[in-house]
Amino acid sequence: MNKTLRLAQESAAAIGLEEDGQTGTLFGVRDGYNVVLALSEQSNQLLQVSVSVCQGGQLPDVKTLKAVAKSSKALLGCTVQRFRVTYGIRVGRTKAKTQENIRTALEDLTQFLHQNGFSNCCQQCGTIGETDAYTISGETKQLCPAVLCGPSN
Ligand SMILES: [Zn+2]
């Protein structure tokens, strides 16, 4: 088991996220946003948090989203692919510090999304509302229940 992922799993249980048995990815709802915690594909030392959001049904503004990575001590970097937004989570020097960073990162992020009027949406079609996390080809996607977006596609 990867050390970074194990730390995340230990903290995730405390904040009510669920674990995908196959991939070890963690997912759940925080303050009305569906979040996914997973290791970066580029580095298994880097933990990332992803959300899928829109602004008034439109693609989210990249510049606005990048601002929270600067203001939060726990977030670093920001990648936007259409509706899907991914941030890195800073690793602390100790286990306790890393776990604190995970909690802070989620808090900072969801608070920021609320304050800036982002809505939770399907990462494929952008429909606002609750989504479910599906693991497709090793990647966790946040999709709405529409036939075109569901796991069969
Ligand atoms: Zn959809």
Statement: residue 150 has pLDDT above 80: no
**Residue 101: both structure tokens together:** 């960073």
Contacts 24+ apart (CB under 8 A), 88-92: 88/40, 88/46, 88/47, 88/48, 89/37, 89/46, 89/47, 89/48, 89/49, 91/4, 91/45, 91/46, 91/47
Q: How far is the CA of 118 from the centre of ligand 1 (A)?
A: 17
- Phi and psi at residue 8, to the nearest 5°: -65, -40
Confidence of residue 1 (pLDDT cuts 50, 70, 90): low
Domain at 3-143, CATH class:
alpha beta
Can you tell me the mean pLDDT for 54-70? Answer: 96
Pair 29, 70: CB distance under 8 Å: no
Confidence of residue 151 (pLDDT cuts 50, 70, 90): low
By CB neighbour count within 10 A (0-12 exposed, 13-18 middle, 19+ buried), where does 130 fall?
middle
Confidence of residue 20 (pLDDT cuts 50, 70, 90): confident
Residue 45: per-residue pLDDT: 83
Q: How far is the CA of 73 from the centre of ligand 1 (A)?
A: 32
Q: What is the mean pLDDT of the chain?
A: 90
**Residue 94: both structure tokens together:** 């100790």
Q: How far is the CA of 15 from the centre of ligand 1 (A)?
A: 27
Statement: residue 2 has pLDDT above 90: no
Report which secondary-structure segment, H or E, holds 80. Answer: strand 75-81
Residue 152: per-residue pLDDT: 61
- Domain locations in the chain? 3-143
